[in-house]
Structure 1
Amino acid sequence: MKVETLIGNLPDGWVYSTLGEVCRAGGGDIQTGPFGSQLHKSDYVPVGIPSVMPQNIGDNRICEDGIARIKPLDANRLTRYCVQPGDIVYSRRGDVEKRALVREPESGWLCGTGCLRVRLGKRGPDPRYTSFYLGHPSVREWIVRHAHGATMPNLNTSILSACPFVVPPPADQEAIASILSALDDKIELNRQTNATLEAMARALFKDWFVDFGPTRAKAEGRAPYLAPHLWELFPDALDDEDKPLGWEISTIGQEVQVIGGSTPSTKEPAFWGGCINWATPKDLSSLQTPVLLETARTITESGMEKISSGLLPIGSVLLSSRAPIGYLAVSEIPVAINQGFIAMVCQKRLSNLFVWLWTGENMEAILQKANGSTFQEISKSNFRPLPVVIASNTLHKAFDSIASPLYIKLAQNEQESRTLAQTRDLLLPKLMSGEIRLREAERVVEAVL
């Protein structure tokens, strides 16, 4: 295979090889994680050694949220599967082109079942450069094309070892890695900031509308912990239903417009590829921040006519209603949806921020209302009667005045991260092929950071 079929002609001094060859030359290897027979359900515990599964492989980073953990004793017998800084972890099935670079805090974790570990070795190429190279669109496409299985792609050590690999001189590796890492690091900082902002909004909602913290504090004679103008908005006692006096119980179906969606015929090309965003739960599955900015597929005006719920406005709250239930986001784009959603259009007493946080807080109650033999689904008719406690209009406005800036900043960070990721993905192939000089790339990065 000619090199130019993957990333174009090589600059002077760059060497063509394979991933397996550079790993062996560097003293590393490509290894499969433990198989299911080596780990049993009883080996997994709430607190233990993290084990990286396919669902934990994000955009060149390991996502710790929901990561599986195993007993330290079991981890000790599986030390050959440990990961160390500089390793790269792949999923063996499904989204096989996704990879994650192991960083310092992840040292000592396990490469879990369903994953592959690439170890470059001490004499191997720069791990950051390697991971970015493996994110090149042509390289990702090569991996997907060579994976086995039409329905569910499967990756193995032989396929990954044969993956074409380009080795620039060490100085170029370091420069490319540094330029792209500056963008990646800012994206990660935004993610961490957004996690904090979301936690703050959830904590505020829970205190005011779930725990009724200010009212309980007043009833018990405790000192105020909010500003005086906020403190005075809360009742002084709880009623017989254990909610603040004067607050009412309504249903979510009375307070928001609950909408479902549908799918235009996939056999009709005239319905697809237009300029209208069309969402499926998969569009929410990879979101690290609950903000929808784009969809993988679009439909035409003709396709839109086949969806009775029409185009939902910006600010609609989207909840995946099946396979699985629970993906949640606020749409920052006008969007049509498929049948895998419950959408909430908030044009009455409750803001979309309140509804977003209410939905997340009530996920257990939502799951209890689900049914289905093949897969669990929450229907609109089962969703609408779920109770929601309504405070005074003044208090709701006060809540929105605090929560809104948190959400706005969160959405701005997510939009910035999208721009940074687009810049990174634009620069990546140009740097790998030598089409753009390093100094030019540095100027592009400086302009967006």
Structure 2
Amino acid sequence: MSSEWRETTVETLIAEGVLAPPLDGNHGEIHPKANDYVDSGIPFIMASDMKDGQVDTTGCAFITHEQASRLRKGFAKTGDVLLSHKATIGRTAVVGPLKDDFLVLTPQVTYYRILDPQKLNHRYLKYYFDSRPFQETLAAWSGSGSTRAYLGITAQRKLPIVLPPILLQSEIAVVMGSLDDRITLLRETNATLEAIAQALFKSWFVDFDPVRAKAEGLEPEGMDATTAALFPDSFEESESGLIPRGWQSCRVENLADKVGMGPFGSNIKVETFVSEGIPVISGQHLRQLLVEDSTFNFITDTHAKKLSNSCVHEGDVIFTHAGSIGQVALLHRNARFDRYVLSQRQFFLRCNRLKMQPEWITYYFRSAQGQHQLLANTSQVGVPSIARPVSYLRSIEVLVPSKELIDKFSDIADALHQTVLAKRLQIQNLTRLRDTLLPRLISGQLRLPEAEAMVEEICA
């Protein structure tokens, strides 16, 4: 490490006027509660709103300006670096442009505000917080992995910070930022591809646009004659109103080979996890349309065999019935493992492939109509949950088109999914490169031109 580099602490940087004293959100009675939330106002940010290094101020909770004015602290501004320090440990984000002058934090998140940008670059600080050495220190000091993992403001003042010269800080931030920008672009492209498939599903099977066009003597837009021929050219009366002729209402149980539950919580505990074996799918893997097939906890093969009724494989559609209810994800045909086991809050549907395709049913239950049906049996007592999830899912009525049309949509969706999976692999490679380069750049073990060359090679 060059003599121009400094190893210092948060406390020293505060004393030197480089950092403002870090603060978290309000504790106690004045801490905003769920019944204080409003549709719009001041963003109220939790660790879960810190995603991919950014703050999500669209999907977060909000409080009124009046309530915010009664709070004592936790007012983060554009450019502040956020660090989660309670329960969810080590998540980071930079506060971007805001509609108001500030946002408000929960007590589980600390903001770091730079007072002297000639000595500390805020993006460098964010990346330093992301580095493996810092994260390992944070985890050790906070007792990460326990249910009470926590590192308060006083302890955070003792945290180490490595500072290269300010010019090098900025250059490191640019190199890391270029990787993050590429990752963000790939994620946005994947979201667009999934949105295209969801919009197609809505047009074909919710709004019945091709059927309406044919009923008016028109050719359906955006499809070839073979596909158009799969749609009827008229509607017929049913108990639920007009539906495309020949389509039938069918209970899910008649479309499924199996609907099953995850095991009881006592069957999978932290102490049962091993370094490799059968992966456990939980809610964190169901945040997107396709199961996130990367980082898992594992149980032994012997343990998994005892939980065979809770094992899933490619083509299964997985739901969450407690906590983050409404999650629906497809375990895609390029799954890394030949089987997985569900955690206690998940359940699944295995399609009868002679009658139904998993792509079609996944998009159905991710549609507004499908979500409404899925959540209609929700209990809000305690943890939000779907009552009797297996029997309830079996009982849901679905308007089903011809099998040929289901197959056609599934083929289109699957082609988009393959592109999504390819881009996910690129994201994993870029993320791996970023996580490899970052500690070496921060420690001075890797020269900046070498890092730039590696980034250019993988992004070419």
Question: Per the shorter chain, which TM-score range?
Answer: 0.7 to 0.9
* Contact kept? 1:249, 1:390, Cα under 8 Å: yes
Query: Aligned residues, how many?
Result: 438
Give 1:134's match in structure 2, choosing from 129, 132, 141: 129
Could you tell me which residue of structure 2 aligns to residue 5 of structure 1? Answer: none
Could you tell me which residue of structure 1 aligns to residue 12 of structure 2? Answer: 21
* Contact kept? 1:248, 1:390, Cα under 8 Å: yes
| Paired AA for residue 21 in structure 1 | T
Give 2:423's match in structure 1, choosing from 410, 413, 417: 413
Could you tell me which residue of structure 2 aligns to residue 7 of structure 1? Answer: none
For the pair 1:119 / 2:113, whether they are aligned, the reply is yes
Give 2:165's match in structure 1, choosing from 165, 169, 177: 169
In 1, Cα distance between equivalents of 2:361 and 2:313: 15
Deviations 1:226-275 (A, max 9, x none): 33524443222222122211001112222233233337856897873333
In 1, Cα distance between equivalents of 2:199 and 2:164: 49
**Structure 1 residues 23 and 326, CA, compared in 2 at 3 Å: closer, same or farther?**
farther
Identity of aligned residues (%): 28
Q: Secondary structure at the match of 1:158?
A: helix
In 1, Cα distance between equivalents of 2:105 and 2:270: 42
Give 2:360's match in structure 1, choosing from 345, 354, 361: 354
In 1, Cα distance between equivalents of 2:111 and 2:219: 55
> 1:189, CA displacement in angstroms?
1.2
What residue ranges of structure 1 are gaps of 5+ in the alignment?
1-9
> 1:56, CA displacement in angstroms?
0.0
Could you tell me which residue of structure 2 aligns to residue 32 of structure 1? Answer: 24
Could you tell me which residue of structure 1 aligns to residue 398 of structure 2? Answer: 388
Deviations 1:145-192 (A, max 9, x none): 333895332343222222111111112212221221121111111222
> 1:405, CA displacement in angstroms?
2.7
**Structure 1 residues 231 and 30, CA, compared in 2 at 3 Å: closer, same or farther?**
same
Give 1:145's match in structure 2, choosing from 140, 143, 156: 140
**Structure 1 residues 271 and 126, CA, compared in 2 at 3 Å: closer, same or farther?**
closer
**Structure 1 residues 223 and 265, CA, compared in 2 at 3 Å: closer, same or farther?**
closer
Could you tell me which residue of structure 1 aligns to residue 185 of structure 2? Answer: 189
* Contact kept? 1:88, 1:99, Cα under 8 Å: yes
In 1, Cα distance between equivalents of 2:85 and 2:53: 16
In 2, Cα distance between equivalents of 1:291 and 1:313: 11
| Paired AA for residue 275 in structure 1 | G
Segment drifting more, 304-313 vs 195-204: 304-313
> 1:65, CA displacement in angstroms?
5.1
> 1:347, CA displacement in angstroms?
4.8
In 2, Cα distance between equivalents of 1:431 and 1:20: 24
> 1:379, CA displacement in angstroms?
2.3
- Normalising by structure 1, we get a TM-score of 0.86
**Structure 1 residues 421 and 288, CA, compared in 2 at 3 Å: closer, same or farther?**
farther
For the pair 1:426 / 2:436, whether they are aligned, the reply is yes
* Contact kept? 1:238, 1:244, Cα under 8 Å: yes
> 1:221, CA displacement in angstroms?
6.4
Give 2:346's match in structure 1, choosing from 329, 333, 341: 341
In 1, Cα distance between equivalents of 2:422 and 2:89: 30
Could you tell me which residue of structure 1 aligns to residue 326 of structure 2? Answer: 326
**Structure 1 residues 402 and 132, CA, compared in 2 at 3 Å: closer, same or farther?**
same
In 2, Cα distance between equivalents of 1:445 and 1:275: 33
In 1, Cα distance between equivalents of 2:379 and 2:348: 19
For the pair 1:233 / 2:230, whether they are aligned, the reply is yes
Deviations 1:324-383 (A, max 9, x none): 322332223332223322122335132222121112122232222245965424421221
Give 1:403's match in structure 2, choosing from 402, 408, 413: 413
Q: Secondary structure at the match of 2:22?
A: strand
> 1:119, CA displacement in angstroms?
0.5
| Paired AA for residue 279 in structure 1 | I
